[in-house]
Amino acid sequence: WYGDHRDLHKEYRRQRQMCIRDRSYTSYRDEGFLRNISYSLKYDMLHNFDNQLDVISLDGRVSASFKGNTNIGITHDYDFVSYYLDKKYSNYGSTRIGFSTSPVELISFDSNISFGKDVAFNDENPELGEEFNLRTTLSLQLNNNFSVSNLFSFSRLKEINSNEYYYRGYINRFNTKYQFSKSLGLRLAAEYNNFSESIFIQPLFEWTPNPFTIFYIGGNQNLIKEDDYYIDRSQFFVKFQYLISL
């Protein structure tokens, strides 16, 4: 069990927080496909700066590791009560599922999914909504010099009693890097943001001959769509850093 109580100076207002955690358990195996499995249970009771009840929640998690650098974890977060802007929300929860694997050096994959209910914090009249979030990352190390990766993130929060959305969209980001030598490399990042219908591009050349010398040259370009895409902002930058020892 774990407990925490804090009192800040009155100039910063008083904060009290208490967190109680149950024990966690892990079982290890030296043979077979399953390497270890663990579970944990956490109970939280939090108070705000005015010592008023803020959150009461219970979290449960089960995770397992497998042969081939593969991990799976499932977490369920249940809020018995929470407050936001003096509004009370009761008995809602969400589930998160995480999966990652890197069976060989060439490839690694990571994915997280969450679904359930959450508060629409950015809305003028925040209510509970049905959430769904998906995030995946695929990375390829094609050889010792060249690597590429792609990150895709989708997020939505839907009104419970209608088909309207508080928000809904995705972001896709592509990164690539070519390492000419240990000290010389070239990077390129490109991102499409569906929420704002914008495109971001960033090429970057880097030279780091030693830990004390850094040289970067690159640029940022941001495109926004109205009727057609147009360049909203462009930036060119150069950075040189050298440490002089006295």
The pLDDT value given to residue 4: 42
Among residues 133, 202, 201, the alpha carbon closest in space to that of 170 is found at 133
pLDDT tens over the chain, length 246 residues: 434 444 444 444 434 455 555 666 666 666 678 888 898 888 888 887 878 888 999 999 999 999 889 999 999 999 999 998 889 999 999 999 999 999 988 999 999 999 999 999 988 889 999 999 999 999 999 998 999 999 999 999 999 989 999 999 999 999 999 999 989 999 999 999 999 999 999 999 999 988 888 999 999 999 998 888 888 888 998 989 888 776
The pLDDT value given to residue 9: 42
Q: Longest C-alpha distance within the chain, in Å?
A: 68
Share of the chain residues as helix, strand and coil, in percent rounded to the nearest 5: 0, 70, 25
Residue 163 neighbours by CB under 8 Å, 6+ apart: none
Residue 61: count other Cβ atoms within 10 Å of its Cβ.
17
SS3 sequence, the chain? CCCCCCCCCHHHCCCCEEEEECCCEEEECCCCCEEEEEEEEEEEEEECCCCCEEEEEEEEEEEEEECCCEEEEEEEEEEEEEEECCEEEEEEEEEEEEEEEEEECCEEEEEEEEEEEEECCCCCCCCEEEEEEEEEEEEEECCCCEEEEEEEEEEEEEECCCCCEEEEEEEEEEEEEEECCCCEEEEEEEEEECCCCEEEEEEEEEEEEECCEEEEEEEEEEEEECCCEEEEEEEEEEEEEECCCC
Whole-prediction pTM:
0.80
Token pair listed for 18: 């208490």
The pLDDT value given to residue 154: 97
CA distance 76 to 93: 7
The pLDDT value given to residue 15: 42
Among residues 37, 105, 26, 40, the alpha carbon closest in space to that of 69 is found at 105
The pLDDT value given to residue 45: 87
Token pair listed for 4: 């925490």
- Tell me the β-bridge partners of 63: 38, 73
